[in-house]
Structure 1
Amino acid sequence: MSPACPADPPVTVVGIGADGWEGLAPAARAALRAAEAVVGGPRQLALLPADCPAERVPWPSPLLPAVPGLLAAHAGRRLCVLASGDPMFFGIGRALAEAAGPAALRVLPHPSSVSYACARLGWPVEDTDVVSLVGRPTASVARFLHAGRRLLVLSAGADTPAQVAALLRARGYGPSRMRVLEQLGGPRERHLTGRADDWPHPPGDPLNVVAVECVPAPNTPRLPAVPGLLDAAYEHDGQLTKRHIRAVTLAALGPAPGELLWDVGGGSGSVGVEWLRAHRACRAVAVERDPVRAARIARNADALGVPHLRVVTGAAPEALAGLPVPDAVFVGGGVTAPGVLPACWTALPPGGRLVVNGVTLQAEALLAEWYGRHGGELVRLAVAHAVPVGRFAGWRQAMPVTQWTAVKPAPEPSGAQPTDASDA
């Protein structure tokens, strides 16, 4: 056996469903009977029979910060952790793997609530979007609302279906059909059906999944999956990277899963919001000195389904101190403020991207200077819109935007010789 997969790892993680002990495979039952301690939620622990002699340890609250301490407290004992369904699908398995290392775990999964729900509904799992509201704001659902899509919402409790219905109504998806599937796989399984715009059911069982067939109401704005949302999608006071420039800016930034963006001079937060909409694993911090605009950024993030956008209220460069290392930085406001560009460039690791937009002559001169010093790409972006001119139409030119894009190079190896006379 590979050293990375020990024969007897110290922690066994057992997935359990609403069918309880009867639904467990023999290997899972044997692990629980052999355990000296079993950690789980009160509901999960109550599913174990009396002939499981292990000490039963309920999870404390908050759960995630307690994981390392619990593992340390039971070190050297045969430890089992109970989890709902598949522990590695929006479950405690992730936190355990991060705290103890994957090699320390033996995971025995049960069918997830998503698998059960798709089986009941006849929905292909691979074509169904899944969002968890366990420990997450209801607004997280908004990013997944597209006409004709099917969505499964993993509920945080009995009130989640009504909260989802309210969000659907607020976002223009009131005609969407909803089905609540309670106690999936267990003897008390129950299904409730209705529409979001007149959801009729009171709170039911807290163990539920909400299925949504997305149907927009007439005139609901369409929000595409690519950057360049309509400007009207944002609340703003004019400090907004406009739609066409924003699309080019996001293309230059090039978001990828798991990467972190600093949106410096956030304005209305549009670049940070659309960075996060590119992939659920993307992360972003918006830095804005004006408290009114900072609050507006948070509202825009909430409305467009990315409430996890972190908003820092303060002026750059001082407000950048202590932020996690970015993969990319966008400077859309305060370009000429002393120290902003040096701080952003210094913060980037090798391979990190810096994209800066400027509209004033002073900003353009500064970007030309940095382009001469660090290379990259310097472009001028101009957009004109057709507008009525009497009985005819003509072009109205928006202010051109100068954009500088650069990738930070790796440091020169020690002792390397200059390759250009200008470097000498």
Structure 2
Amino acid sequence: MDGGAAQVRGVVDVVGIGADGWGGLSGAARAALGGADVVIGGRRQLALLPPEFAGERVAWPSPLRPAVPGLIEAHAGRRIAVLASGDPSFYGIARVLAEEVGPEGLRVLPHPSSVSYACARLGWPLEDVEVVTLVGRPAGRLAAGLYDGRRLLVLSAGAATPGEVAALLRDRGFGPSRMRVLQQLGGEGERVTEAATAEEWPEAAVDALNVVAVECRRAPDALRLGAVPGLPDAAYEHDGQLTKRHVRAATLGALAPAPGELLWDVGAGSGSVAVEWMRAHPSCGAVAVERDPVRAERIARNAERLGVPGLRVVTGAAPESLDQLPPPDAVFIGGGLTTPGLLETCWDRLPGGGRLVANTVTLESEALLAEWYKRLGGELVRLAVAHAAPVGGFTGWRQAMPVTQWAVEKPYGEHDGATDGVTTDEPTGRDSVPGADPRAHSHRTAPGATT
């Protein structure tokens, strides 16, 4: 829509405002606010309006997102403006509003974002910076973005965020990383702290309106974690129930995660496949199903430590525990293949184009996978890994148990009942199904927006 046009009744104007307040707004933004019957926003943003502003002011309640439909409906027929921080389309309220009224029902008038200001002050190219928001999100998600040499800008939840970031960096082996806090960007109270490492970070008071800049540096003795699947086994807490590194890399390759997709990791063990699926892209979601409560708790710890605290853990046996889950885009079965109804349930819940990957080391489950492969096609492979090990005074190869892997993509338009005639009445063995306790949120639930 035309950013300079007068407000149109029935269209919600979304105006970005910075720490410079009313004085920093464009003429179009001032006109949009001045022509509104009601302005909705956070208390901090509403306080930036001039005293002579005549329209009704309505503060967002908390939690914000569930309140949006009701507020829009309550003011139907009035000229509505929404006041937001910075660029409303960047981790802001514009996304939520677009989902509610449709993109054609919005006119967005952005202000420079805090990220743009921060890059300008630091001399960092905007396109080279990774942005992580901790507004309404756990600090643990920052861990997924920690790589040697990377520059991060962290959108803070408040004055406590810089200290939380420093503590996380120390805990994850990135204590040498250099940090700066940029406060009240664009306003009269703008201030940028002197750089200090996370190890030396002072406990000084900072403004609640801040952005944390991090230049990542890994400690020499810290475990190196790459950006692709196949993290070292030592990255995980486990009791031996772990898809090992080389097999895990092949498994994630077969699952082929894409942005926004949801994985079921059934018989999750230590949760390594689900964790690395979610690390593939920030919008990827996963549900780890594990029947052993101790292992389920371990999965949650692994997820938090490796930067994906949003991994949902379900404690319970499959296939019963799968009934209430949102439909997956891909399914990995790492245990319990011979459980009656498990493969059928997973296959039937997959949409067209969905992928199913199953691994096993037992002859009984291998025979079952061969039967399914014969019926539905896909790719059936055997993965063999050997490690060099001492043999007397020499070195030889120590062979790990071979893993049989079946990977298949469901055809579009596949009907239920495609599994008729395939049975899974073998007794369960090592492939027992785990399951568990709901934690975090499915990626199907959009995160709360900042205002």
Answering whether residue 141 of structure 2 is matched by residue 127 of structure 1, we say no
Task: Kindly indicate whether the alpha-carbon contact (under 8 Å) linking 2:6 and 2:32 is maintained by their aligned counterparts in 1.
Answer: no
Give the count of matched residue pairs: 411
**Distance in 2 (alpha carbons) for counterparts of 1:130 and 1:233:** 24
Distance apart, 1:64 and its partner CA: 0.9
Give the TM-score normalised by the residue count of structure 1. 0.95
Answering whether residue 100 of structure 2 is matched by residue 105 of structure 1, we say no
**Distance in 2 (alpha carbons) for counterparts of 1:259 and 1:118:** 31
Structure 1 residues 243 and 187: alpha-carbon distance in aligned structure 2, compared to 1, 3 A threshold? same
Tell me the SS of whatever aligns to 1:311.
strand
Equivalent residue, structure 2, for 1:172? 173
Task: Kindly indicate whether the alpha-carbon contact (under 8 Å) linking 2:237 and 2:298 is maintained by their aligned counterparts in 1.
Answer: yes
Task: Kindly indicate whether the alpha-carbon contact (under 8 Å) linking 2:266 and 2:288 is maintained by their aligned counterparts in 1.
Answer: yes
Work out which of the residue numbers 264, 282, 285 in structure 2 matches 1:283.
Answer: 285
Equivalent residue, structure 2, for 1:51? 52
Aligned 1:352-391 pairs, distance under 5 A = 352-391=354-393
Tell me the SS of whatever aligns to 1:276.
helix
Equivalent residue, structure 1, for 2:203? 201
Equivalent residue, structure 2, for 1:183? 184
Give the TM-score normalised by the residue count of structure 2. 0.89
Aligned 1:90-101 pairs, distance under 5 A = 90-101=91-102
Deviations 1:134-162 (A, max 9, x none): 01100011011111110000000000000
Equivalent residue, structure 2, for 1:419? none
Equivalent residue, structure 2, for 1:314? 316
Tell me the SS of whatever aligns to 2:40.
strand
Task: Write the letter of the residue equivalent to 1:83.
Answer: A
Tell me the SS of whatever aligns to 1:57.
strand
Structure 1, unaligned runs of 5 or more: 414-424
Equivalent residue, structure 1, for 2:243? 241
Task: Write the letter of the residue equivalent to 1:338.
Answer: P
**Distance in 1 (alpha carbons) for counterparts of 2:184 and 2:322:** 47
Q: CA RMSD in A?
A: 1.5
Work out which of the residue numbers 323, 326, 338 in structure 2 matches 1:324.
Answer: 326
Deviations 1:336-373 (A, max 9, x none): 11111000000001111100001101110110111111
Equivalent residue, structure 1, for 2:398? 396
Answering whether residue 67 of structure 2 is matched by residue 63 of structure 1, we say no
Structure 1 residues 412 and 216: alpha-carbon distance in aligned structure 2, compared to 1, 3 A threshold? closer
Equivalent residue, structure 2, for 1:260? 262
Task: Kindly indicate whether the alpha-carbon contact (under 8 Å) linking 1:10 and 1:76 is maintained by their aligned counterparts in 2.
Answer: no
What percent identity do the matched residue pairs reach? 72
Distance apart, 1:51 and its partner CA: 2.1
Task: Kindly indicate whether the alpha-carbon contact (under 8 Å) linking 1:154 and 1:208 is maintained by their aligned counterparts in 2.
Answer: yes
Answering whether residue 81 of structure 2 is matched by residue 80 of structure 1, we say yes
**Distance in 2 (alpha carbons) for counterparts of 1:359 and 1:306:** 28
Deviations 1:1-44 (A, max 9, x none): 89xx9982521000000000000000000111111000011110
**Distance in 1 (alpha carbons) for counterparts of 2:28 and 2:403:** 63
Tell me the SS of whatever aligns to 1:224.
coil
Tell me the SS of whatever aligns to 1:301.
helix
**Distance in 2 (alpha carbons) for counterparts of 1:230 and 1:218:** 16
Deviations 1:306-340 (A, max 9, x none): 11111111110011011111111000011111111
Equivalent residue, structure 2, for 1:115? 116
Task: Kindly indicate whether the alpha-carbon contact (under 8 Å) linking 1:131 and 1:141 is maintained by their aligned counterparts in 2.
Answer: yes
Work out which of the residue numbers 273, 276, 286 in structure 2 matches 1:274.
Answer: 276
Task: Kindly indicate whether the alpha-carbon contact (under 8 Å) linking 1:130 and 1:151 is maintained by their aligned counterparts in 2.
Answer: yes
Deviations 1:18-75 (A, max 9, x none): 0000000000001111110000111100000022111000000101111111111111
Tell me the SS of whatever aligns to 2:390.
strand
Work out which of the residue numbers 346, 349, 374 in structure 2 matches 1:347.
Answer: 349
Distance apart, 1:202 and its partner CA: 2.2
Task: Kindly indicate whether the alpha-carbon contact (under 8 Å) linking 1:19 and 1:187 is maintained by their aligned counterparts in 2.
Answer: yes
Task: Kindly indicate whether the alpha-carbon contact (under 8 Å) linking 2:352 and 2:414 is maintained by their aligned counterparts in 1.
Answer: no
Task: Write the letter of the residue equivalent to 1:11.
Answer: V
Task: Write the letter of the residue equivalent to 1:312.
Answer: V
Equivalent residue, structure 2, for 1:14? 15
Tell me the SS of whatever aligns to 1:354.
strand
Distance apart, 1:412 and its partner CA: 6.5
Equivalent residue, structure 1, for 2:253? 251
Equivalent residue, structure 2, for 1:142? 143
**Distance in 2 (alpha carbons) for counterparts of 1:237 and 1:6:** 64
Answering whether residue 353 of structure 2 is matched by residue 338 of structure 1, we say no
RCO higher in structure (CA 8 A, sep ≥6): 2
Deviations 1:253-310 (A, max 9, x none): 0001111111111100000010111111111111111111111111101011111111
Structure 2, unaligned runs of 5 or more: 416-451
**Distance in 1 (alpha carbons) for counterparts of 2:59 and 2:22:** 18
Distance apart, 1:201 and its partner CA: 3.4
Deviations 1:368-405 (A, max 9, x none): 11111111111111101110111101111100000001
Structure 1 residues 6 and 351: alpha-carbon distance in aligned structure 2, compared to 1, 3 A threshold? farther
**Distance in 1 (alpha carbons) for counterparts of 2:206 and 2:275:** 34
**Distance in 2 (alpha carbons) for counterparts of 1:72 and 1:306:** 35
Task: Write the letter of the residue equivalent to 1:53.
Answer: A
Equivalent residue, structure 2, for 1:39? 40
